[in-house]
Amino acid sequence: MAKRSIFEGLSYALIYEELKGFYHNIDPRAKLLYAAATIAALIVNDLQKLLVILALNLALTLLYLRILNRLAALLKGLSIFIAMIVIFNTLISLLLAGEHLDIYSLLETQAKAILRVVIAATALTVFLSTTTPWEIVQGLSKIGIKYTYLYTFIIALRFIPIVFSEMRSIYDAQRSRGLELEKGGVLSRVKKLAPIVIPTIVCSMLRARDLVEAMELKGFGYSNKRSFYKPLKFRRIDAGFALTTVMAYAFIALTPIP
């Protein structure tokens, strides 16, 4: 995989990729059950169980090998967030334990936090990179959620990669004009982000205005029911995939470790 910046990595990991693969042919409702079961399994507080859940997630990625590249790009983009979790957990442990801090317990807590992020990121990447926004809308609307509410989530989801790509373009443009963002202290770098953040916000607002006008012209929200050009069908393979993954995660979460 070519080296990517954090912005490019997040955009690459979250955007849908048109391919013919196992996950692409699975009903989005089945993949949603898989992702929900993965997130629900994170309530376990045992390090061994979390490692087993991670191993199962990575085994499922063998059905779609390109997910590993996307997962690596997403984790690179989340590296700052993961570092903040580690620092926060360390500070809380120091405040609560003081001089009686157990290093082993601290390391175990940090490992659990990182594992939860990696597991959730794996399920999220599988779901988003193999499911079109319109399949998500149709799948969720078929289980009773009003489609006008879903579009807020879908539009935000669809615009995240676009915003990151736009931010990268603005970043390159400002650097070509002589803006030095890699030099100076932390506060100096934060102040220098204004020429990047402000144009990104302005461009996003202009894009949102154009989107609102386009949706109004197409009569969005005129009817409470929405029809779809290609209706989804929940097949046996979808039911088998959803049932297998849900039962596997339930078994891991509920089975006691000897």
Domain boundaries, the chain: 1-145+232-258, 147-223
Q: 24-28, 35-39, 189-193: lowest mean pLDDT where? A: 189-193
Q: What average pLDDT does the structure give for the chain? A: 79
Query: What percentage of the chain exceeds 70 in pLDDT?
Result: 87
Q: Is the pTM of this model over 0.85?
A: no
Backbone angles phi, psi at 9, to 5 degrees: -65, -45
Q: Decide if 135 contacts 158 (C-beta within 8 A).
A: no
Q: Quickly state the pLDDT bin for 11 (edges 50, 70, 90).
A: low
Mean pLDDT is lowest, of 19-33, 172-186, 208-222, for 172-186
Q: How far apart are CA 96 and CA 46, in angstroms?
A: 21
- Which stretches within the chain are classed as H helix? 6-14, 28-41, 47-60, 67-77, 79-97, 103-129, 133-141, 147-176, 186-192, 194-217, 236-254
Residue 240 confidence (pLDDT): 92
Lowest mean pLDDT among 26-40, 112-126, 170-184: 170-184
Residue 100 carries which DSSP code? G
Amino acid at 241: F
> Residue 156 carries which side chain, given as an amino acid letter?
A
Percent of the chain with pLDDT over 90: 3
Convert the pLDDT of each residue in 179-204 to its tens digit.
776 676 667 777 777 888 888 888 88
* SS3 category, 60: helix
Supply the pLDDT for residue 186.
64
pLDDT beyond 50 at 98: yes
**Residue 1 above 50 pLDDT?**
no
* pLDDT tens digits for range 229-253: 777 888 899 999 999 999 988 888 8
| Residue 4 pLDDT class (50, 70, 90 cuts) | low
Written as six digits, the tokens of 8 are 């490019």
Cα separation, 197 vs 140, in Å, equals: 33
**What is the rounded end-to-end Cα distance, in angstroms, of the chain?**
41
Per-residue pLDDT tens digits for 58-94: 888 877 777 777 887 777 777 788 888 888 878 877 7
| pLDDT of the residue at 66 | 76
pLDDT digits (tens, 9 = 90+) for 113-148: 888 888 888 888 888 888 887 788 888 777 777 777
Q: What angle do CA 63, 68, 72 make, to 5 degrees?
A: 160
Dmax over Cα atoms in the chain, in whole Å?
65
Amino acid in the structure at residue 160? I
Token duo for residue 145? 């959620």
